[in-house]
Structure 1
């Protein structure tokens, strides 16, 4: 390498040497006795043209072995260099001193595995310990199904590793692979139960397959999740409770009922979070959670935290009469609302603005405070006047709302009357009521 042509200063040259040294230590720590070619490849000191020129001049270098029996194909670098080595005769079935093949060195790189197989690598070769590529994949949690598809011979899973390997394979492997593991050695009851919880949350096909194995286990009916299983369920539960449709949520609960065998045991997980109803929009899901004991007031006294919009307010705002009815029946505070971002709105005022007299009637029957306003100049009476909503105004007054309640500045509702915006009928009615 010429320093004159590539490096302007001695400092730059020194920095380059340090960088190469760091790469050398990274790739060859405890791997001394390596050949210069291996070091050059690993440290990125060879360009494609340099390597090609070298291989054309000396083809045997494609398979040259260091003191550990490693060929250049066993040195980790860029796949382009590997392709060049293969094109110039690199042996894909070469083994190091421990019998590990090139394919085994690259087992974590699916693209390289495919490339090596296309050049004739033996997928069923074993190292000196009798371990094959698929056995390595089983132990390390690497993809197994692609190896089987490529012709790998299944290696029975040992009894001491079966539970660990089964759970490692559960998320990403096919039912075929899982079936092979179970057929080698029956998994433990704890592993089976954990697998049912996971698949019941994430993969219905695997859950149904595991259900078919139920007779192979005699474990007692569970009454609780393990800590890890609870985390798996609760993470999926938080997602599905916010679904627009209810089918996925109901499927999840049905699966978990099978796992726990006890509805009351499941219910405690559904309502563990006092604010579990936050984000729930589907009425069926809402009803299920309320029946399980969910707090319709999110575990807090709304008047002390008015910035938090109540679940009931959301239902009123969306004109969801069924949800309003369910929440009120479960004990939701009818006087709640929200003051978030100075919105300053209540359930009653929202129903009036929406001209939703059915919901307004439900709120009145639930004993909502008809004189309450987050700010005292925005009472339901004033809202009805400003909205020119005579039917709502009549309902409020007939239910006991005070038509003469003054605001913070001493202004009474009558001062909100406007001959331009209010109908003569509303003005006449209100003046008659307040005069009596």
Structure 2
């Protein structure tokens, strides 16, 4: 039926009400036979329809390797770039179609094409698309074909890490760490992002490849300090168990006030069990016990007193613990004030 119409000279490179050409519709129906007929009777394999797409992009969208091969064999441009400055190879990577990706590269698709956003100055090489796909074989294929990419550049590493933090799998990350990214090119800000995104799995991979666990971010915070600040118990526990320096927290003791405010007693216990200085002071002379009193954390106060915090501590402005309790709690938190006062008095008597 279709061939009869084509033999009679029916217009073949036309666009329907949806902006699609005849060949595009045939491709979306996955009909290799009809696509072959259309090309035989003059359909242009590079015809740009009303949606500004060539037949090749429709074939890629349908993941039809046979139609892709047919179109390329009849002159379709493997390096087509659309109005959004995205190449057909980039679309094939997005569709996660490894056979089509390989075929396009083997037939001239530019593996080093850089996608430049039409709305910003952002530039994305195809290796970013491959990493975003979450498919390790696609990443490996592009690298096997010698895709140009500077894995020593810290901005590039940061961008890759940002992409991989959204991928629950670790295979691409581990492959790149083993084969492409030097562990010594990681910096503290990269590790900070990893901790903020709760990626203990990726942190373990880095440590297995000899990451320096004392790397500092731009503010001088070590991974342990960052993990404590974000109250991430699993990462804190892991870092302490592999030897992270607890003394870093003694230098940034104010970080722990946030933890105490949020009543993270279990986290505090782990830190103290790993020799956190319970009498460490911040720049204003505040201690862990003062933080707990100011935030009315009764059980934390009792725990700190049990582990030997200095109950007779007096700040340089002559503020004792009793005065601090009165100043912060008496007016608006009378019940808590009384409880804290009684606890302090009880432990003072025990010391007599």
Q: Could you state the TM-score of these two structures normalised by the residue count of structure 2?
A: 0.57
| 3-state SS of 1:190 partner | coil
Aligned to 1:44: none
Go from structure 1 to structure 2 and tell me whether the alpha carbon gap of 1:92 and 1:232 turns closer, same or farther (over 3 Å shift): farther
- Give, in whole Å, the separation in 2 of the partners of 1:102 and 1:335: 69
Matches within 5 A, 1:124-139: 124-126=37-39, 131-132=44-45
Q: Which one of the candidate residues 277, 281, 293 is aligned to 1:365?
A: 277
Matches within 5 A, 1:26-425: 91=5, 99-100=12-13, 106-107=20-21, 121-126=34-39, 131-132=44-45, 141-144=57-60, 145=62, 147-148=64-65, 153-156=70-73, 161-162=78-79, 164-172=87-95, 174-185=97-108, 190=112, 194-202=125-133, 203-210=135-142, 214=144, 217=146, 222-224=150-152, 233-240=160-167, 248-249=169-170, 251-257=171-177, 260=180, 262-265=182-185, 267-268=186-187, 271-272=188-189, 276-277=193-194, 279-286=196-203, 299-300=218-219, 311-315=227-231, 320-323=236-239, 328-329=245-246, 331-332=248-249, 334-337=252-255, 345-347=257-259, 353-354=265-266, 357-362=269-274, 364-365=276-277, 368-369=280-281, 372=286, 379-380=291-292, 386-387=298-299, 390=302, 392-397=304-309, 401-402=313-314, 404-405=320-321, 406-407=323-324, 409=326
Task: Give the gaps of 5 or more residues in structure 2.
Answer: 81-86, 115-123
Aligned to 2:348: 430
| 3-state SS of 1:359 partner | helix
Q: Could you state the TM-score of these two structures normalised by the residue count of structure 1?
A: 0.49
- Give, in whole Å, the separation in 2 of the partners of 1:151 and 1:190: 21
| Contact 1:297-1:310 at 8 Å conserved across structures | no
Deviations 1:24-71 (A, max 9, x none): xxxxxxxxxxxxxxxxxxxxxxxxxxxxxxxxxxxxxxxxxxxxxxxx
| Contact 1:313-1:346 at 8 Å conserved across structures | yes
| Contact 1:316-1:324 at 8 Å conserved across structures | no
Task: Give the gaps of 5 or more residues in structure 1.
Answer: 1-85, 303-308, 339-344
| 3-state SS of 1:397 partner | coil
| Contact 2:279-2:287 at 8 Å conserved across structures | no
Go from structure 1 to structure 2 and tell me whether the alpha carbon gap of 1:381 and 1:178 turns closer, same or farther (over 3 Å shift): closer
- Give, in whole Å, the separation in 2 of the partners of 1:127 and 1:295: 67
Go from structure 1 to structure 2 and tell me whether the alpha carbon gap of 1:276 and 1:115 turns closer, same or farther (over 3 Å shift): closer
Q: How many corresponding residue pairs?
A: 313
Go from structure 1 to structure 2 and tell me whether the alpha carbon gap of 1:298 and 1:221 turns closer, same or farther (over 3 Å shift): closer
More RCO (CA 8 Å, sep 6+): 2
Go from structure 1 to structure 2 and tell me whether the alpha carbon gap of 1:327 and 1:207 turns closer, same or farther (over 3 Å shift): same
